Every structure is written in C-alpha cells, then in structure tokens.
C-alpha cells in the first residue's frame, strides 16, 4: 500500500509516518529529511537546496523528483509492503511526475491522507519541535515530551537538535508556500477520488487512530 501523508508544515506528517512504519512496515519517504541529509553531506543537490530551505521556499521540482525516483529504486523500498510519501509532492508538477514515475515502476497510489490543522496551531507546533540527534525521534516542548526530561524514549540519547528553519519568520513563508503551491494538490487528488481527510487538530494518538482506520478501509 502506497500513500501520501499530506498537510501543511507542522501538521504531524513525520510523527504519524514514523508510527506507521512500525505498525505497518511501510517506509517513510520524507523529501525534507533527504534534503537535510544532502545539505549536511554537502552534495550538489544539498548545495543548491540549502539557502532555499533556510528561506522557507520550495527547492526545484527537478531536485526532489530525482531524489524520490532514486530512492524508489533502492532494495529496501522495493522489498517493503509500501511507502509513505511525506512532504512530497508539493506542487502540481511534482504530482504529475509522481504519477508517471509510479506507472513506470509498476506502482500505484492507494490514498492521500490529508491532515487538517489550523495555521495558528502550526506555528506553535513548529516552534516547539525538536528531534533526538541520535535516532531522529521527534518531540515537542509542550505536546510530546520524553518520559524522562532530556532523555530520548526510543534510544536513551541525550542530545537533541532543532531545525534551522523552525523559527517563526521562516514558518510564515513556509505556510504561504504551502497555501500557494501545495494545497491545490488536494483538488488534483480529489479529482482522482483518493483523498481521505483526517482531523489533524486532535491529540497525536487520536490522529494515529483515525489514520489507521483510513488505511484499514483502503486495504
């Protein structure tokens, strides 16, 4: 089963994708994570993406399409029961390319799960977000704290990082990029009849339950 977890920055896509990896053995394909890894490694794509990401704008379609296409050809992805696209596609051009790509690889999209969250809540979610430096588990200053302060629940790590673009100013431009370039994709997928809306304002466990129900209905 291949799905898109769709929603604005901070909606909870990464949080929910990690849970679905565990419950369903699906593989999370986050273009944001892949781009941050490319920036860190200093690859050609990383060099091109760095400034754009810091401004909260979208990197070129060409870069993310190539990254995703290469990733879909890797052995672990091919062996998995399916993938979760997280943060991709973000433009109509990317969605059209994804359709072609999936066709040519003999894959199909089963559903687009849309997480609905108000803009004000997004700013609060993003500015409080942090991540375990060792295992990548996501946390929030208010909404998802580790059981023991300063110690990662998953791996016991004690170092945490915050994203350079998770500040209020950049969040505003990321939200306008979302409304201008990404939200039109909901219509694109509505016309294919595969959109499933979920109340992303609910608590994290509740959102997980809603998504699991949607996936059960698709299976």
Q: Is 151 in the site for Zn ion (CB under 5 A)?
A: no
Strands (E), 83-168: 83-86, 111-116, 129-132, 138-140, 160-161
Q: Which residues have CB under 8 Å from 186's CB, separation 6+?
A: 6, 112, 114, 195
Strands (E), the chain: 3-6, 27-30, 83-86, 111-116, 129-132, 138-140, 160-161, 195-199
| Partner from Zn ion, ligand ADP, none binding residue 146, C-beta < 5-8 Å depending on class | none
Q: Build a one-symbol-per-residue string for 123-162: x at contacts with ligand ADP by CB under 6 A, - elsewhere.
A: --x--xx--------xxx--xx------------------
Q: Is 146 in the site for Zn ion (CB under 5 A)?
A: no
Residue list 68-127, contact with ligand ADP (CB under 6 A) = 87-88, 90, 94, 125
* Centroid of chain to Cα 16: 9
For CA atoms 26, 171, 143, 146, the dihedral sign is positive
Q: How far is the CB of 204 from Zn ion (least distance, A)?
A: 17
Q: Build a one-symbol-per-residue string for 17-56: x at contacts with ligand ADP by CB under 6 A, - elsewhere.
A: --------------xx--x----------------xx--x
Q: Is 3 in the site for ligand ADP (CB under 6 A)?
A: no
* Candidate residues 3, 11, 29, 72; the one interacting with ligand ADP per rule CB under 6 A: 11
Residue list 155-194, contact with Zn ion (CB under 5 A) = 155, 157
Q: How far is the CB of 103 from Zn ion (least distance, A)?
A: 38
Q: Which residues have CB under 8 Å from 61's CB, separation 6+?
A: 91, 93, 94, 97
């Amino acid at each position: 089963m291949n799905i898109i977890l769709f929603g604005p920055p901070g909606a909870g896509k990464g949080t929910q994708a990690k849970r679905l990896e565990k419950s369903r053995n699906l593989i999370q394909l986050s273009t944001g994570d892949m781009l941050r890894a490319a920036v860190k490694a200093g690859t050609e794509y990383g060099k091109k993406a760095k400034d754009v990401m810091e401004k909260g704008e979208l990197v070129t379609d060409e870069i993310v399409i190539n990254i995703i296409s290469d990733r879909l050809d890797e052995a672990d992805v091919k062996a998995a029961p399916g993938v979760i696209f997280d943060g991709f596609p973000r433009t109509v051009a990317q969605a059209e390319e994804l359709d072609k790509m999936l066709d040519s690889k003999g894959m199909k999209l089963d559903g687009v799960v849309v997480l609905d969250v108000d803009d004000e809540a997004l700013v609060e979610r993003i500015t409080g977000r942090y991540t375990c430096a060792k295992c990548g588990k996501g946390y929030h200053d208010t909404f998802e704290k580790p059981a023991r302060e300063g110690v990662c629940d998953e791996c016991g790590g004690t170092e945490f990082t915050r994203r350079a673009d998770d500040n209020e100013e950049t969040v505003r431009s990321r939200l306008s990029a979302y409304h201008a370039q990404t939200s039109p994709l909901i219509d694109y997928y509505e016309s294919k009849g595969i959109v499933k809306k979920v109340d992303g304002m609910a608590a994290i466990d509740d959102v997980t339950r809603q998504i699991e129900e949607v996936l059960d209905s698709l299976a």
